[in-house]
């Protein structure tokens, strides 16, 4: 990939991204803990948590969009934020009317699409200003693959929502790793 196309990033933009990735990672892990305790039945608490998770992604995408005012990846970030908002609504509907299989299928489709968006953003941000983006690239690739698995599991005999807490924990760890990598890159420059 030609890193010359990567955006030039100011210290404040980099700091905003570090805070965003760290906050997003911590929120994902906190969500995973809460969801693992509440998902046995798709009651109001579990459905609310299902709606909240993609909304965290939507808000994060909006913050990311404004944190780096240049770069072609901004369009992908905006689309991902809109997609996450639509998925939040779809998860609310699936959780209240469709059951675990519907929830797992919707979540899987979202994981595939948001993972693809994350890959695109990671590839476009590779370069000297924002590091090599390995945590973002790995996380996006895994999200894509795991999402496809969830879609397949949703059509199976006994789909389980246990896997969603594991997904969120992994995503949280990768966001924290990306924040740490950006912070380290910032101090070494």
Task: Tell me the per-residue pLDDT of 103-129, one tens digit each, with 9 for 90 and over.
Answer: 999 999 999 999 999 888 888 766 555
Mean pLDDT of 135-139: 85
* Residues 100/161, Cβ–Cβ less than 8 Å: yes
- Report the alpha-carbon distance of residue 102 to residue 91 in Å, rounded: 8
Q: Write down the number of H helices and E strands in the chain.
A: 6, 0
Query: CB neighbours of 86 closer than 8 A, spacing ≥ 6?
Result: none
pLDDT of residue 89: 98
Residue 2 pLDDT level (bands cut at 50, 70, 90): very low
Residues written for the chain: 189
For 48-63, what is each residue's pLDDT tens digit? 999 999 999 999 999 9
Degrees, nearest 5: CA angle 72-122-81: 65
Query: CB neighbours of 97 closer than 8 A, spacing ≥ 6?
Result: none
- Report the alpha-carbon distance of residue 110 to residue 46 in Å, rounded: 18
The two structure tokens encoding residue 25: 């990672």
Q: Whole-prediction pTM value?
A: 0.86
């Amino acid at each position: 990939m030609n890193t010359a196309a990567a955006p030039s990033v100011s210290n404040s933009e980099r700091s905003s991204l570090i805070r965003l990735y760290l906050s997003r990672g911590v929120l994902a892990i906190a969500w995973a803990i809460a969801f693992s305790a509440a998902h046995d039945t798709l009651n109001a608490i579990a459905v609310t948590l299902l709606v909240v998770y993609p909304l965290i992604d939507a808000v994060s995408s909006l913050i990311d969009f404004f944190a780096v005012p240049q770069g072609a990846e901004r369009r992908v970030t905006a689309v991902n934020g809109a997609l996450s908002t639509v998925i939040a609504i779809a998860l609310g509907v699936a959780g209240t009317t469709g059951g675990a299989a519907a929830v797992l299928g919707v979540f899987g489709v979202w994981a595939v699409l948001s993972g693809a968006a994350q890959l695109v953003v990671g590839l476009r941000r590779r370069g000297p200003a924002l590091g090599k983006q390995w945590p973002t690239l790995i996380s996006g690739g895994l999200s894509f693959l795991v999402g496809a698995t969830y879609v397949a599991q949703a059509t199976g005999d006994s789909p389980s929502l246990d896997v969603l807490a594991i997904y969120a924990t992994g995503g949280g760890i990768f966001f924290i790793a990306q924040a740490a990598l950006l912070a380290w890159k910032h101090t070494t420059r």
